[in-house]
Amino acid sequence: MKITLRGEDAITLEPTPGSLTIEASSADEVYSPFHMVASGLASCTMSVLQTWASHASLSTDDLSLEVQWRFAEDPHRVSDYDVIVTWPSLPQNRRSAVTRVAELCTVHATLTHAPRIAVKQASP
Helix (H, G, I), strand (E, B) or coil at 83: strand
Residue 110 confidence (pLDDT): 95
Domain 2-112 is in which class?
A: alpha beta
Looking at residue 48, its pLDDT comes to 97
DSSP lists the bridge partners of residue 78 as 71
pLDDT of residue 18: 85
What pLDDT score does 26 carry? 87
Q: What is the DSSP string of 12-46?
A: EEE--SSS-EEE-SSTT----HHHHHHHHHHHHHH
Question: 77-86 and 10-14 as β-strands: parallel, antiparallel, unpaired?
Answer: unpaired
Say how far apart CA 48 and CA 32 lie, in whole Å.
Answer: 24
Specify whether the CB–CB gap between 23 and 34 falls below 8 A. no
Check residue 17 and give its pLDDT: 85
Q: What residue ranges do the domains of the chain occupy?
A: 2-112
Q: What confidence score (pLDDT) does residue 97 get?
A: 95
Output the CA–CA distances (angstroms, integers) from residue 36 to 5, 13, 31, 62, in the order listed: 10, 12, 7, 23
Write down the pLDDT at residue 116: 95
Averaged over successive runs of 10 residues, the pLDDT of the chain (124 residues) comes to 94 91 90 96 96 96 97 95 97 94 96 94 92
State the CB neighbour count (10 A cutoff) for residue 13: 23
- What's residue 38's pLDDT? 97
